[in-house]
Every structure is written in structure tokens, then in C-alpha cells.
């Protein structure tokens, strides 16, 4: 006798967001590029992950990862100072 069939959907789970920057020091009124990479538990890149970039608690940009699992943000800084940025998946 054969039982009923059950279906299991195995989905990729976002396991890690890596944020990198092109320069750690820039002049005011110039830009820096920040790249977010989305990875699953096996460190495979994940596409179509919506990501927001934050400076402190302020959302400054959003984007969606590409087939390489990456999305880049070009940010212009108009004031002197030290800025801490991070990304959050949405």
C-alpha cells in the first residue's frame, strides 16, 4: 500500500548580508560606493533580495540584489564627519 504524497518545498534562506565600501576616507561632496552581498547558508549568492542601506537609523537607499547576489549604492556625503552604515534585508 502506498501512502499519500507529501510535498516539501526547499527554499533558500538568506543567511548573511555582507556590506563593503570602496573607500574608508573621502572628501566632502564626493561619493563612496557601498556593496551589499546576499548569501545563503552555503555562501551561495542570492538574487532578488531587497536590501535597504542605513546610516545610523536613517534609511538612505534601497535596492535589489542581482544574479550575483549584489546590489551597490553610490552615496554622496555633503558634510564632514564619521558615518556608520549598515544594510538590512526587507
Partner 1 sequence: MKSNIVTVDVEAPLTKITLTGNSSVNVGSNATFTATAYSSNVKLPDINITLYEVNTKTNIASGKTNSNGEVSFSIKFDNAGDYSFYAYSGDINSNTVNIIAKPVCNSEQYYCSILNKCICYSDNASNITLTLKNANPEFLLFNGAWIRDYYFYLKYMAGYGYFIGGNSCPTSWGNAPNNLPPNIYFRDIDISGIVTDANGNACGDTGVCQKYKLYFWLNEYTLTHTFYQCMNDGYNYYYDFDFNMDFTYEVLSSNYAKLADSNGIQGYIYADEDGKFDIKLRVYANLSSYSHIGSSYNDCSAPEMEASPILYAGFSEYNTVAVQTVEYTVKTCKHLYWYDQYY
Residues of this chain that interact with partner 1 (CB under 8 A) are 14, 16-21, 23-30, 32, 34, 36, 77-89
Question: Shortest gap between Cβ of 81 and partner 1 (angstroms)?
Answer: 6
Selection from 36, 26, 28, 27 nearest residue 61 by Cα = 36
Nearer to partner 1, 30 or 64 (CB): 30
Nearest CB to partner 1, comparing residues 7 and 17: 17
DSSP 8-state assignment for residue 45 = B
Rounded least distance, CB 67 to partner 1, Å: 19
Q: Answer for the pair 53, 89: CB distance below 8 angstroms, yes or no.
A: no
| Residue (6 or 14) nearer to partner 1, CB | 14
How far is Cα 15 from Cα 9, in angstroms, rounded to an integer?
18
Minimum distance, C-beta of residue 16 to partner 1, in the bound complex (Å): 8
Query: For residue 48, what is the DSSP state?
Result: S
Residue 51 CB, shortest distance to partner 1, in Å, is 8
Closest CA to 73 of 84, 59, 83, 63: 63
Amino acid at each position: 500500500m502506498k501512502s499519500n504524497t507529501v510535498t516539501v518545498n526547499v527554499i533558500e534562506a538568506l543567511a548573511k548580508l555582507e556590506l563593503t565600501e570602496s573607500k574608508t576616507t573621502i572628501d566632502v561632496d564626493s561619493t563612496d560606493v557601498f556593496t551589499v552581498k546576499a548569501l545563503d547558508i552555503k555562501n551561495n549568492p542570492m538574487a532578488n533580495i531587497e536590501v535597504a542601506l542605513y546610516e545610523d537609523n536613517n534609511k538612505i537607499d534601497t535596492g535589489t540584489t542581482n544574479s550575483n547576489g549584489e546590489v551597490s549604492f553610490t552615496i554622496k556625503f555633503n558634510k564632514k564627519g564619521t558615518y556608520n552604515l549598515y544594510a538590512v534585508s526587507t
